[in-house]
Chains A and B, each alone.
Chain A
Amino acid sequence: MQLSWNGRYIWAGVMLASLGCQATISGGDDVGRGQSDGAGVAGSSTTGEPGNVGTSPLFEPLGGPDPIVCDPSKSRTGGRRIWRLTRQQYDNSTAALLGDSTARAKAFNPEPGSEQGFQNDAFSLRVRAAEASQFQAAARALASQTVAGDLGNITACAAQSLNDASCQTEFVGALGKRLFRRPLLDAEQQRYAELFAMGQLKRDALLGAEAVIEAMLQSPHFLYRFELGKDPVAGVVELTSWELASLLSYTFLGGPPDAELSSLAEAGALDVPATLEAQARRMLQTSAARPAAYELYRQLFELTQLPDIPKDEAVFPDFDGKRADLASSAQAFVQSVLFDEAGSSLQSLLTSKLSFVNQNLAPLFGVSGAGAVLAPVVLEEPARAGILTHPALMSVLGARTRTSPVNRGRFVREKLLCHIVPDPPEGTDTQVPPLAPALSARQQLDAKTGGEPCATCHARMNPIGFGFEKLDGVGRYRTEENGQAIDDSGSLTLTRDIDGAFQGANELATKLASSAQVHECLAVQGFRYVLGRPERGADACSIVAVRDRWVGANLDLKELLVALAGSEAYRLRSED
């Protein structure tokens, strides 16, 4: 099994490059491949054996040209696990539970993220020396800040009678339930009561409370979400109601369970798919759902790179001054499609002409008369189409001084069609020289990548990327480059259902929005993000069920999240 995994990886990463692109780009031909024999195994490592390590070994990419097929005999859910909070989840948790508004976790070590581009990857989120010292410093500051405020917010008696033994017990229990997102076990209640008592002995009850807050904030029960489940039945466990409350709230609110989820968990009433879905729909009506749902799209569309993507000041003046507004504009657009438009449709996400523009961004969008605040504007330029042509995305996918048809094509292949694009083969000079006079970027790139070993793969990327050429390296509309009219004709190949020529980004986006391959791919991407792990062949049935429900719901993007919450992969885990 270890060898077979390693072989797959090499197959994906290395041999493909030398054998050409054909095999990689096919993808999705082997849903049952490796069917779950490696589920959840890592264990102790032996040096020199690649073994079941890393984020990738259990990654068996699904989606691509051939539809995913469910074979129930090979279906298996993911393993039991614990899942560390991301920095954003940490901040949302301390805000909700302790009223902290400093967003201190922003300065913590960043999440490594998964190969598939999602930062909430459960495998790679760890606590090592650096993280532990950051959590410790934050816990000290938060504890000190909390005891300086009104402890009555945690439990009423604490405002007046923290010296009473009964109130201390109540305080420890209430704080524990809040921070651990479930009631304390007896042993835990006793452990933290002893700590409280020691603090009181050293000085007073307030020091006891401070010590307990500091300790609980460093406990794995606060720092991780638990998915260990109830007693197994035939090798499968159902998550407990408390575990599901956390899973739901961090998925849909980005933070800890709210009052309704907590009371349902208290009653043990969450372990029913219909209830999970009803709660998902309820939370999608709240304001906290807006940023939480956006996070999937921010990461999928690689907008996490927006603060750092290098841009040449001479070519794109004052780009640094526009990064923050660009991020807000992309967020406003995605949220308006998801939450403010009837139908919340994928169609609209990919093809809407609506943009959110202010004075600062007006030059990028080519509009005049914009005010200081981001406001919706309908753009009529033929090259504009939804999120795909948003200047934030065009900037992230652009090079420092110009566009990058290769990267734009790579993005569509990987993120919307679920293909795997291998790296260039050994020794390839991937530099495109400065634009020669009288050559368009398209002509130059064709000349550069037209021969082997480049052409096989680039024939799958460049013709898609060329469709965006009327948008420059930061997404400004243009009709000529180097004195020549821009040709933004393109073509799609090796897809399930949208092969053929197209003209410009708008037509490309319309084709993508209509493609069953794209619909399936977005179900896969949603799965990766919501479950915090790459998919395996054994997930095929869950993904097929989500895909079919979502397609049946007219591609309503909120319903994609609801379908994921209702899936078996969401609430069941395999025992080992």
Chain B
Amino acid sequence: MHNLLSRRNALRGAGAASIMAAFARQLKHAGAAPDAGAKRLIVFWTPNGVVQDRFWPTGGVQDFTLGPALEALKPHRDSLTIVKGVTYSGTGDHKTGQPFSTSGFVADNAGVSIDQEIAAGVGQQSLVLCGQAKNENRRGFISFDKSGAWVTPIRSPQSAYESVFGPIGAGGGAPPPAGRDAELSNKILDAAIADIKDVEKRLPASELVKMEDHLAAILELKKKVGPGGPTTVSCDGVDGNVFAGEPDYPTRVKLHMDLIAACIACDARRIFSYMLAPAGGDGTGFGFLGVSGGDYHNDIAHGSPGDPAKEDMMHKVDLWHAEQLAYLISALKSIPEGAGTAFDNTVILWTSECTHGNHGHQNIPIVLAGNAGGTLKTGQFLSAGVKYENLLISLAHAVGHPLATFGLGGTGPASELLV
């Protein structure tokens, strides 16, 4: 009986963070430790806003008390900056808020998203995940590449794992044939690279981005070509079997966060875009939280402002989202790095596309967690005044990509955020 089952059972019974800690302790860096200056950004995105009056802290900038929705984040209070008063441009709906939340533009495909901008700026690839997939009406996308094209998120934990670490055992593909070694594996990818370079010479400028993306992806595969076989990345302690299969929604979310932790522990990725679920009515249900209705947004969130029963149910979902963020923070805090932990070099942006279940673009729920190597102030509650695009610029500065402008109106980093 391998790891997967025992671990699932454990997750049901025990405190998630302690399990994650045990998991993370098994992780060891494959080769050299990450560069001393390696910083991480995780965009942690939840849909449909929050129950406003249970979300925000009370008190002053330093002496604040977390709102009831953030109960799970209390142990991490001093690692947080909670930003109230952020207003998005756009028409106050899902459709314009969603692209604005990551790109600072009110339309899809209008500009690059912050994860992709930073990833390109620091020479990394962004790992783009979602808890639920929804492509039909464009609500499943929050990551845009530099040409504004959607970056399709990966839903299956197994696919996501394999995109970073290579096939799980022999199950992800054929077993390597006899005689197959790293040299031959490399030569196979080199043929694709040579073909890509041939194609680049013939393309009009507008099409080059396709081959640039493709080349970057193949170079990523080349990193996984190890001496023992064609496609394994060596990262001790990461058991790919844990990520196999088609788990239910809450289990899948945990696995996504475990994968983010594994990527950070092995320094396989530094930039992440994680949408827990798309906005609007997509049929996502929270029955596992005792929240009725098969379609959370339409049945519950949408009607929640002013309806105490629905607000109570939406609050349960808000609490659960905060628990997920707390789980992720704990996971990163359990990965040793330098004199501290991986969390010390990370910043997480929790954001959404709307104010509350019935839309709106004022007081967007924003929580920053982590100080990215001491570059961001934490332990503060800002009640007004940060321009959202400038907040995104500040994050770029914090992780080593000093952007000048961003989105529709970004003019520079926000002094309230940067140390």
Chain A bound to chain B = yes
User: B-contacting residues of A (Cβ < 8 Å)?
Assistant: 6, 9-10, 13-14, 17-18, 40-45, 47-57, 79-82, 84, 107, 109-113, 115, 123-124, 126-134, 136-138, 140-141, 143-145, 187-188, 191-192, 194-195, 198-199, 202-204, 207, 210-211, 214-216, 218-221, 224, 228, 302, 304-305, 308-310, 312, 400, 423-431, 575-576
A-B interface, 6 closest residue pairs, ranked by CB to CB distance from nearest: A54-B109, A203-B179, A53-B148, A426-B92, A54-B148, A132-B217
Closest to B220 in A: A129
Closest to B114 in A: A47
- Minimum distance in angstroms from B367 CB to a CB of chain A: 24
Closest to A310 in B: B283
Complex Cα gap A308–B93 (Å): 23
Closest to A18 in B: B91
Instruction: Check if B135 sits within 8 Å of A113, measured CB to CB.
Output: yes
Instruction: Check if A50 sits within 8 Å of B110, measured CB to CB.
Output: yes
Instruction: Check if B214 sits within 8 Å of A187, measured CB to CB.
Output: no
Which residues of chain A come closer than 8 Å to B303, judged between CB atoms?
429, 431
Q: A198-B184, A203-B178, A219-B195 are in contact. Are A128 and B151 (CB under 8 A)?
A: yes
**Of the candidates A115, A304, A429, which one forms a contact with B358 in the assembled complex, judged by CB atoms under 8 Å apart?**
A429
Instruction: Check if B105 sits within 8 Å of A50, measured CB to CB.
Output: yes
Which residues of chain B come closer than 8 Å to A199, judged between CB atoms?
179, 184
Question: B133 interface residue, CB < 8 Å from A?
Answer: yes
Q: Which B residues, 185 to 211, have Cβ-Cβ distances below 8 Å to chain A?
A: 187-189, 191-192, 194-196, 198-199, 202-211
Instruction: Check if B166 sits within 8 Å of A133, measured CB to CB.
Output: yes
Complex Cα gap A210–B189 (Å): 13
Question: B138 interface residue, CB < 8 Å from A?
Answer: yes
Complex Cα gap A57–B109 (Å): 8
Q: A50-B110, A129-B220, A132-B221 are in contact. Are A220 and B91 (CB under 8 A)?
A: no
Question: B264 interface residue, CB < 8 Å from A?
Answer: no
Q: Which B residues, 149 to 164, have Cβ-Cβ distances below 8 Å to chain A?
A: 149-152, 154, 159-160, 162-164
- Minimum distance in angstroms from B175 CB to a CB of chain A: 8
Complex Cα gap A453–B183 (Å): 66
- Minimum distance in angstroms from A187 CB to a CB of chain B: 7
Instruction: Check if A54 sits within 8 Å of B147, measured CB to CB.
Output: yes
Instruction: Check if A13 sits within 8 Å of B196, measured CB to CB.
Output: no
Which residues of chain B come closer than 8 Å to A82, judged between CB atoms?
199, 203, 207, 210-211
Instruction: Check if B204 sits within 8 Å of A576, measured CB to CB.
Output: yes
Closest to A214 in B: B188
Closest to B411 in A: A48
Q: Chain B, 107-122, contact with A by CB distance < 8 Å: what is the 0/1 string?
A: 1111110000100000
Which residues of chain B come closer than 8 Å to A305, judged between CB atoms?
136
Which residues of chain B come closer than 8 Å to A137, judged between CB atoms?
162, 167, 172-173, 231
Q: A48-B111, A57-B109 are in contact. Are A131 and B189 (CB under 8 A)?
A: no
Closest to B283 in A: A310
Complex Cα gap A219–B162 (Å): 20
Q: A127-B213, A310-B283 are in contact. Are A53 and B204 (CB under 8 A)?
A: no
Q: A115-B138, A140-B230 are in contact. Are A53 and B358 (CB under 8 A)?
A: no
User: Can you report 17 A-B residue pairs in the complex whose CB atoms are below 8 A from each other?
Assistant: A13-B95, A52-B206, A54-B107, A79-B206, A80-B203, A129-B163, A132-B163, A137-B173, A141-B174, A195-B188, A202-B181, A203-B178, A203-B180, A211-B184, A309-B283, A310-B294, A424-B93
Complex Cα gap A82–B196 (Å): 12
Which residues of chain B come closer than 8 Å to A43, judged between CB atoms?
205-206, 208
Instruction: Check if B194 sits within 8 Å of A191, measured CB to CB.
Output: yes
Complex Cα gap A10–B181 (Å): 54
- Majority-rule SS of B interface residues: loop
- Minimum distance in angstroms from B300 CB to a CB of chain A: 11
Closest to A217 in B: B192
Q: Which of B74-82, B343-351, B402-410 lies at the interface?
A: B402-410
Which residues of chain A come closer than 8 Å to B404, judged between CB atoms?
47-48
Instruction: Check if A47 sits within 8 Å of B117, measured CB to CB.
Output: yes
**Of the candidates B117, B144, B189, which one forms a contact with A218 in the assembled complex, judged by CB atoms under 8 Å apart?**
B189
Q: A129-B220, A132-B217, A310-B295 are in contact. Are A429 and B302 (CB under 8 A)?
A: yes
Instruction: Check if B195 sits within 8 Å of A188, measured CB to CB.
Output: yes
Instruction: Check if B110 sits within 8 Å of A53, measured CB to CB.
Output: yes
Instruction: Check if B191 sits within 8 Å of A215, measured CB to CB.
Output: yes
Instruction: Check if A126 sits within 8 Å of B213, measured CB to CB.
Output: yes
Closest to B396 in A: A47
Q: A40-B206, A55-B109, A130-B163 are in contact. Are A191 and B191 (CB under 8 A)?
A: yes
Q: A54-B108, A79-B204 are in contact. List 14 more A-B contacts (CB 8 A).
A: A10-B106, A54-B109, A79-B207, A82-B211, A110-B133, A137-B173, A140-B174, A202-B180, A207-B178, A215-B189, A308-B283, A310-B294, A312-B294, A576-B206
- Minimum distance in angstroms from B326 CB to a CB of chain A: 28
Complex Cα gap A137–B128 (Å): 19
Which residues of chain A come closer than 8 Å to B231, judged between CB atoms?
136-137, 140
Complex Cα gap A214–B198 (Å): 19
Complex Cα gap A81–B206 (Å): 8
Complex Cα gap A379–B133 (Å): 37
Instruction: Check if B163 sits within 8 Å of A110, measured CB to CB.
Output: no
Q: A133-B163, A211-B184 are in contact. Are A427 and B92 (CB under 8 A)?
A: yes
Q: A40-B204, A48-B405 are in contact. Are A427 and B360 (CB under 8 A)?
A: yes
Interface centre among B135, B148, B166, by most chain A C-beta atoms within 10 angstroms, is B148
Which residues of chain A come closer than 8 Å to B110, judged between CB atoms?
6, 9, 50, 53-54
Complex Cα gap A33–B203 (Å): 27
Complex Cα gap A177–B166 (Å): 30
- Minimum distance in angstroms from A379 CB to a CB of chain B: 28
Which residues of chain A come closer than 8 Å to B163, judged between CB atoms?
129-130, 132-134
Complex Cα gap A219–B281 (Å): 39
Complex Cα gap A425–B96 (Å): 11
Instruction: Check if A14 sits within 8 Å of B106, measured CB to CB.
Output: yes
**Of the candidates B111, B154, B407, which one forms a contact with A109 in the assembled complex, judged by CB atoms under 8 Å apart?**
B154
Interface centre among B108, B206, B216, by most chain A C-beta atoms within 10 angstroms, is B206
Q: A133-B221, A136-B221, A195-B188 are in contact. Are A50 and B194 (CB under 8 A)?
A: no
Complex Cα gap A221–B194 (Å): 11
Instruction: Check if A124 sits within 8 Å of B149, measured CB to CB.
Output: yes
- Minimum distance in angstroms from B407 CB to a CB of chain A: 7
Complex Cα gap A109–B129 (Å): 11
Instruction: Check if B405 sits within 8 Å of A54, measured CB to CB.
Output: no
Which residues of chain B come closer than 8 Å to A40, judged between CB atoms?
204, 206-207
Q: A47-B405, A53-B111, A188-B195 are in contact. Are A218 and B204 (CB under 8 A)?
A: no
